[in-house]
Amino acid sequence: MLDTLADEFPPPTPRPAGAPTALAGLKVIDFTHFIAGPLATMFLADMGADVIKIEPPARGDELRYYPPVLGVLPEQGGPFVWSNRNKRSLALDLKLPEALAVVRELIAGADVVVENFSTGVMERFGLGYEACRALNPNIVYCAISAYGRDGPYADRLGFDPIAQAESGFVAMNGYPDRQGVRASSAVMDISTAMMVGNAVLAALYARTHRGHGQYVEVALFDTAVLMTGWATMQHLFTGKDHVRHGNDSVDTCPSGVFQSKDQAFYINCGNDKIFARLALQVLDRPDLAADPVLADRNGRLAHREALFSTLNDIFGTQSWAYWQDRMRAAQIPCGEVRTVAQALRAPEARARGIVTRIPHPVCGEVPNIASPIRFSDTPLVDPVAAPAIGQHSVELLKTLLGYDDARIEALAASGVFGQRVNVASA
């Protein structure tokens, strides 16, 4: 796949020369691993923050080894490359006091600390919030956990599929005649990352008028409950639990997957007006629009099965291209059911510049999935490929902390960098 990148995807459009970034000058010390934390700090890096990823020297972030790997680099698997661009890596063995001393110096001059270790780990390192606040009262310290940092479940570990299961999300999805299903995408990690980004930015804004930083916490389980959507409030209103309906909406009709002559597609008639336009302008069926039962959302929901059968009979007579043109003209929300591969190559993705190729020091070029954020005055930074373990260790110690060669060599001799950092060639 990598050898066809140049044929399929363009390089990203460079940002305007000299344009500022939204988070220029912001320094983030990143103790995160796996998905939620690294993705959150990547969003900050995209907006111009200097994100320094602290990793163990031997293996680094364990997400590095999730397949498929990048060419000959077993430590740069696809999921890691996807969630760690625009960062600098500092490899330190935090079990050594010399490494902790380096980290404390970095935190003293930083704006944000983000961590998602198990509860208590940062405190054992002497890097809990209170210790960091003593070093730097302005620090915004964000802890990401599974079930919170206090209370009876603070010790529990949690991963995305567990949060999906325990929040009710799995039970909501799938078909009524079988077990619920999880989303293949790490939706809880991704949504938690978005919450972390919002929380950190809000705390930084608060710092501008309160004069000091604060402790911020985001829990995976809390976010997962939010991600069940308004099903929570529907249950609290009625006492009833959500019933799985597969691809069909429980709230609107017709909303679901239909089949044209050559392509499955999804339509979402979110209100009565959209259904009327579908019947009149797309299907040429004024009888459906005039039916007093079908004209009302609740009537359509009650007769969903018969209505879907009628619609599929009609849609099956023409191609998707035919129906797509008519539905676009009638302003009917619709879209073909695509694979991931098809989505990445779709005209909409190309028009938005979502998939590009960017330089890589070993592999030549690697694919990149663009951030969905667009700024008019402070464009995102040009994407830089995810770093190797400890790639920037010497550079960071020299430029940020002013260490000279002798001090760096002494640290290397103490083992804080492990075996990966070649001080002599840095």
The predicted pLDDT at position 425 comes to 47
CATH 3.30.1540.10 range(s) for the chain read 264-336
Q: Which of 98, 149, 147 is nearest to 123 (CA)?
A: 149
CA dihedral 327, 330, 334, 338 (to 10 degrees): 40
Active site residues: 189
| C-alpha span between 398 and 407 (Å, rounded) | 10
pLDDT for position 1:
67
Position 319 scores a pLDDT of 98
* Superfamily for the 264-336 domain: formyl-coa transferase, domain 3 (3.30.1540.10)
pLDDT for the residue 284: 98
Low-confidence ranges of the chain (pLDDT < 70): 1, 420-426
List CB contacts of 92: < 8 A, sequence separation 6 or more: 54, 55, 56, 57, 99, 102, 103, 393, 416, 417
Residue ranges matching CATH 3.40.50.10540 in the chain: 2-229+353-425
Give the pLDDT confidence score for residue 421 in this predicted structure. 59
Report residue 8: phi and psi, to 5°: -105, -35
pLDDT of residue 2: 75
- Which CATH number fits the domain 2-229+353-425, given the four candidates 3.40.50.10540, 3.30.950.10, 3.40.640.10, 3.90.1150.10? 3.40.50.10540
pTM, full prediction = 0.95
Q: Which residue has the tokens 């002497």?
A: 126
